[in-house]
Amino acid sequence: MVDYDLLVPYGWTEAVASEYLPLLGDLVPARIVRMDRSECDVVAPGGPSRAACPRDITGLCTGDWVGLDAEGTVRLLLPRRSAIMRSSVSGRSVAQVLATNVDTVLICSAADGDVDLGRIERMLALAWESNAQPVVVLTKADAADHLPLDEVRAVAPGATVLAVSAAAETGLDVLTAVLHGTVALIGPSGAGKSTLANALLGAEVFATNVVRAVDGKGRHTTVHRELRPLPGGGTLIDTPGLRGIGLYDAADGIGKTFSDIESLAADCRFADCAHETEPGCAVQAGIADGTITERRLTSYRKLAKENEWMAARTDKRLAAERERAWRSIAKQHRKQYRERGYR
């Protein structure tokens, strides 16, 4: 009999067990707590260990549940209930998975400078699309002149918005109360993700660093996505700072992020209203009466356009790949026919 007790702090529940055990056969379940190129750190029923990831199992990520064979090698990726994805940094239409099996996404934005509403909207689209519940956290509240809670709430319908200070230890109880399951911290470098992670973990687990004031970008202190159990239950994934946040197939996420605009748009006179100069446009009326801002409409348009462009490129790329695959199969067939003497 395998004893799963050691997996419980890492998110092993009865529901997870009943979903995964029938899929595992002889394999043993484990959760990836840190991913390297061809190996990963996992927590298995026997405790933490290092597992090899053969090449045929691609795209593994911190947060994944996998099946290990008797040698402790990863043999199976178990179904994900959520995945945070963005289009890869290189700008190619390839998705990069940031974290998986996440229930709560903490979107971190430092309140000691200007809070970038557009970037928050972008991260909200990513988070909603992933299937997890977003929470927007204004960090470094102790160093803020003004906490733009109302402005941020206006751009985050359906999400909790709160302010914390890891340094002054304020707001942490309220934040802890809204955390659920596996929690992933995302945000730009220097937003204070690792500092907040340590405060929630109650220990100096992750390295933290100072922001270079010169370019405001900061050094990337965190380089690995790493999962740890939280003392009060649940798990936490710290991630490296996000420089670019390209959307990847995020139409639903954009819809949820801008649900206020989309519900106004339902009342436009014309079904195909572009919300520009059309008569009876409920979105323009919303701007006129201050329900939404011009900035938010522009941001919505920008993200929707970017997403459509990315989706079109992805379709084209997939079509090209299929075409290539088909051609090489046809070539193989011709070769086989030749070898068998057909012409």
Ligand X SMILES: Nc1nc2c(ncn2[C@@H]2O[C@H](COP(=O)(O)OP(=O)(O)OP(=O)(O)O)[C@@H](O)[C@H]2O)c(=O)[nH]1
- 15-23, 146-154, 217-225, 321-329 -> range binding ligand X (CB under 6 A): 217-225
Q: Which of 1, 15, 70, 210 binds ligand X (CB under 6 A)?
A: 210
113 — alpha (psi -120 to 50), left (phi > 0) or beta?
beta
Residue 190 annotated as part of some ligand binding site: yes
Smallest distance from ligand X to CB 337, Å? 57
Q: Which of 273, 285, 304, 311 binds Zn ion (CB under 5 A)?
A: 273
For residue 139, state whether it binds ligand X (rule: CB under 6 A): yes
Residue with smallest beta-carbon separation from ligand X? 241
For residue 176, state whether it binds ligand X (rule: CB under 6 A): no
For residue 193, state whether it binds ligand X (rule: CB under 6 A): yes
> Which positions ≥6 away from 123 have C-beta within 8 Å?
105, 107, 134, 186, 187, 242, 245
Smallest distance from ligand X to CB 111, Å? 9
For residue 142, state whether it binds ligand X (rule: CB under 6 A): yes
Smallest distance from ligand X to CB 170, Å? 9
For residue 258, state whether it binds Zn ion (rule: CB under 5 A): no
Residue 53 annotated as part of some ligand binding site: no
For residue 165, state whether it binds ligand X (rule: CB under 6 A): yes
For residue 182, state whether it binds ligand X (rule: CB under 6 A): no
Q: What are residue 4's DSSP bridge partners? A: none
Query: Could you tell me if 134 and 127 are in contact, meaning their C-beta atoms sit under 8 angstroms apart?
Result: yes
Q: Is 243 exposed, middle or buried, given 0-12, 13-18 or 19+ CB atoms closer than 10 A? A: exposed
Residue 140 annotated as part of some ligand binding site: yes
For residue 97, state whether it binds Zn ion (rule: CB under 5 A): no
For residue 166, state whether it binds ligand X (rule: CB under 6 A): yes
Q: Which does 101 bind (CB under 5 to 8 A by kind): Mg ion, Zn ion, ligand X, none?
A: none
For residue 86, state whether it binds ligand X (rule: CB under 6 A): no
For residue 201, state whether it binds ligand X (rule: CB under 6 A): no
Residue 275 annotated as part of some ligand binding site: yes
Smallest distance from ligand X to CB 116, Å? 14
- 53-61, 78-86, 113-121, 219-227 -> range binding ligand X (CB under 6 A): 219-227
Q: Sketch the per residue contact string, 234 through 263, with ligand X: x for CB under 6 A, - otherwise.
A: ------xx----------------------
Nearest to 193 by CA among 147, 149, 135: 135
Q: Which is nearer to ligand X, 193 or 296 (CB)?
A: 193
Q: What are residue 86's DSSP bridge partners? A: 96
The contact set with Zn ion (CB under 5 A) reads 268, 273, 275, 281, 283
Which spans of this chain sit near ligand X (rule: CB under 6 A)?
A: 139-140, 142-143, 165-167, 187, 189-195, 208-211, 218, 220-222, 240-241
| Residue set of the binding site for Zn(2+) | 268, 273, 275, 281
